[in-house]
Amino acid sequence: MTAHTSVIGTDFPVRDARDRVTGSIRFVLDHAVPDMAHARLVTSQLPHARIRSIDTDAATAMPGVVTVVTGADLVDRDGLDPYFGDQRADQPAIAIDKVRHVGEPVAVVVADSAATAREAALRVVVDYDPLDHVVDAEEALELGAPTLHDAHPGNDCGAWGLHRGDVDAALADADHVYRGTWTTPPGSHVPMEPHVCIARWEDEAHDGRTGNGDDRGHGGRSLHVWSAAQSPHAVRTALSGMFGLPEDDVRVEVGNLGGAYGAKGQVKIEPLVACAALVAGRPVRLELDRDEVFFTIGRHAAVVRLTTGMDAQGHIVARDVDVVYNAGAYAVTSPGATRQALVRAPGPYRLANVRLRSRAAYTNTVPTGPFRGAMTAQVCFAYESQLDDIAADLGIDPVELRRRNLLREGDVFATGEELEDVHFTSLLDDAATAIGWDEPLPATAPGRVRGRGLGIMLKSTITPSRTEVRLAVDTAGRIRLDSSSVEMGQGVTATLVQLVADWLEVDPDLVDVPAPDTARTPFDTTTSSSRTTFSAGAAVRDAIAALRDELAALAAGQWGCDRDDVEVDGGTVMRRADPASAVTWAELVAASGRDEVLVDGVFQSRDELDSTDPMDVHGRATVHWHQGAAAVEVEVDVETGRVTVERAHGNCWAGRVVSPLRVRQQNQGCIVFGLGPALFEQVVYEGGQFTNPNLSEYLLPSILDVPRDLTSSALEGGPDSELHGVGEMALPGLAPAIANALFHATGARVRDLPLTPERVLRALREAGATPDRATGTIPERASDPAGTGAGDPTTMGGASAHA
């Protein structure tokens, strides 16, 4: 056989690249099943209200309408628990008794056609008793605020803390103390493909058994769901719980997703569609309208209060962080996500004294969940912005100040864990070099000034978590990897093919990776949190070892020799003593009389934070830390406040790189994706109403917004390095990098996202950076940004390079 050529570390192509570019690949959106009916939602127009009555008569009477399902149809139904939730079962499939946010589904019209369902939905009349509502998370935590869930008084949706060292004493002894508040508004993921789901109740069990006829309330039937979901097994678990079905009687299939960014994690519309199909007695399909996507899930708004004490030499001596996240109307992942947020809050710095508090509050807004850079971008905006304020105040270059304080190998983190595989200093150096930190700024037109800034972050990944895979070799010698990792354009399928082919030393063309199907592909926690390359990679490695064992044992059995005498090579097995004995895997499997040889592989991370006392969280936060940075050069129009990102660079610690191209694409994707939340994306509530649930008023970056000069680096380890997910690393640092570049250019500091021209203009005026009309030049800085009265205006002048 020919020598194996490694495919790890090569730009192995995504197999369906051409179909993606020409628009011919099929998404979950394109799926249909025979006899399916179509659902349309009736959604709440009030942020908080009791439902007095729902009149469905006019809708039901329309020709073509199958049924109209409301919460009342679900409450006393035998064998159905209508509530679901990743961590708290607080969310009804369809509103029951009350609504808690604008856009919450109140009724589901099921009809023969989507057009009829849409028409009938207009005829459903809902009568409400409005209740007081609350939109702001901090207001929701105040005494006397409207309560969303009786089971959760005070709107508590998670509260965690930790304290290491003695922050109060250290702040008292500090030479300088800096305090500030940074805010991030609610946001939306806006995947191009909306949420879509088909649910069908089936008489046969998925393993071929006929209906078992027991009285589980659904006639012994099983449930088959097709959904655009990042976590097929989470959907299976939730539906099995709601309908009282064994997990094997719920089958979830997932094809290509048209983007997700966290919006399709956990469980979304699947319970609603499954309930509608149950009541309708027909397969039901629901595809959300764009506004309904906005109403289904969003990003946590956050208020971050950050206090940092410094010594005279520019070392951080203490840090206190208090973060309040807005969970929205239902918990989704917030109770646990705020614990993850806790450990992401202090930043990648050495902190002998650190106190962290992370809370989430229920509010009458769209439920929130993981959003690319989850629970990290909000805090990174605070700690990286504040660090540049401190640098200016102390007269230390921002890169130098970071270098003095960044975590290094063996440091002890806030959680008490000793850190390994720490690369922050290298990432900092790479970002600074890439953006030309020490180079002079280019000349600009009158009225325009340039500045540079950067931001660096650390992020944990979901821990513990589990990924199983199954690896098969058939009689044709083809290899199949059954995995429930979801392809959403990130290229996970190509990555898995590369890993299998490389480690098995076979031709990648022999490797198939079918789409996730919980009836066939084994358990996976989720495709999110930048965990898949690492965790699926570990499971694949485990499966490959098992496969080699199994093939060796099979050959040993056929040849009547000792297993240790068998050598398994790329595609062949042979007796060590007799090279002429070599047979292909195909021949070996065929001779065994089996259709295929099948083995399992598993990855299970067991480390977990100890939060027995929620205010004393400690332990190991993550299987490994994600590390990344972003750096930018911006040009500011000082008359308008508009900030243009002219150059941007993203990087990450990538460990062993499977595909350099896809790492680059992820880093660059982070930058492009992150421009929106940094500069203009925000969900706006007025009087409890979500005012901009459409793409005319919730703008996304377009190709014309992409910086002219967009670069990326992957810091790679050697062949023995761990694999790393890289989907989010360059994103959290971007917004503070831009804010810092604005500050560098003008002395104006904006502490609220997004950095809209209007906010920037107001900050420019506050900073005294208004232009001289005749020349467009900016007067010398009048105020020091940290507000300490000790600013050194010479370190951060208008058009100078960083000192």
Can you give the binding site for other proteins, defined by CB under 8 A? 115, 119, 637, 639-640, 642, 676, 679-680, 684, 691-692, 696-697, 699-702, 704-705, 756-758, 761, 773
Return the number of the residue (291 or 417) whose C-beta is nearest other proteins: 291
Return the number of the residue (613 or 758) whose C-beta is nearest other proteins: 758
Nearest approach in angstroms of CB 750 to other proteins is 14
Q: What strands, in cross-sheet order, belong to the sheet with 98-99? A: 98-99, 49-55, 125-130
Return the number of the residue (190 or 488) whose C-beta is nearest other proteins: 190
Q: How many CB atoms lie within 10 A of CB 130?
A: 12
Return the number of the residue (679 or 729) whose C-beta is nearest other proteins: 679
Return the number of the residue (580 or 704) whose C-beta is nearest other proteins: 704
Q: What strands, in cross-sheet order, belong to the sheet with 466-474? A: 511-512, 479-483, 466-474, 596-604
From the CA atom positions of the chain, what is the Rg in Å? Answer: 28
Return the number of the residue (381 or 698) whose C-beta is nearest other proteins: 698
As a whole number of angstroms, the distance between CA 798 and CA 441 comes to: 10
Nearest approach in angstroms of CB 759 to other proteins is 10
Bond preceding residue 754 cis, omega within 30 of 0: yes
Return the number of the residue (202 or 646) whose C-beta is nearest other proteins: 646
Nearest approach in angstroms of CB 645 to other proteins is 12
- Structure letter (DSSP) for residue 505: T
**Cα atoms in the 13 Å half-sphere on the side-chain side of 793:** 14
Question: Which residues are within 8 A (CB) of 421 and not within 5 positions of it... i.e. 6 or more apart?
Answer: 409, 624, 625, 653, 655, 722
Return the number of the residue (170 or 738) whose C-beta is nearest other proteins: 738
Q: Which of 749, 37, 757, 767 is nearest to 387 (CA)?
A: 749
Nearest approach in angstroms of CB 678 to other proteins is 12
Using alpha carbons only, give the angle 570, 9, 602 rounded to the nearest 5 degrees. Answer: 60
Nearest approach in angstroms of CB 144 to other proteins is 31
Question: Which residues are within 8 A (CB) of 168 and not within 5 positions of it... i.e. 6 or more apart?
Answer: none
Nearest approach in angstroms of CB 734 to other proteins is 16
Nearest approach in angstroms of CB 487 to other proteins is 27
Q: Which of 511, 514, 721, 524 is nearest to 627 (CA)?
A: 721
Nearest approach in angstroms of CB 406 to other proteins is 34
Residue 518 identity (one-letter amino acid): T
- Classified as helix, coil or strand, 499 is helix
H-only helix segments in 571-654 = 585-592
Structural tokens at position 58? 């006019």
Which phi and psi (to 5°) does residue 493 adopt? Answer: -65, -45
User: Contact, 650 vs 730, CB < 8 A?
Assistant: yes
Count the residues in the chain: 803
Structural tokens at position 625? 């830390």
Return the number of the residue (523 or 680) whose C-beta is nearest other proteins: 680
Query: In this structure, what is the dihedral angle of CA atoms 144, 145, 149, 151, given to the nearest 10 degrees?
Result: -30
Distance of CA 484 to the CA centre of its chain: 17
Q: How many CB atoms lie within 10 A of CB 598?
A: 17
Return the number of the residue (487 or 681) whose C-beta is nearest other proteins: 681
Return the number of the residue (106 or 382) whose C-beta is nearest other proteins: 106
Nearest approach in angstroms of CB 37 to other proteins is 18
Nearest approach in angstroms of CB 641 to other proteins is 8
Nearest approach in angstroms of CB 123 to other proteins is 11
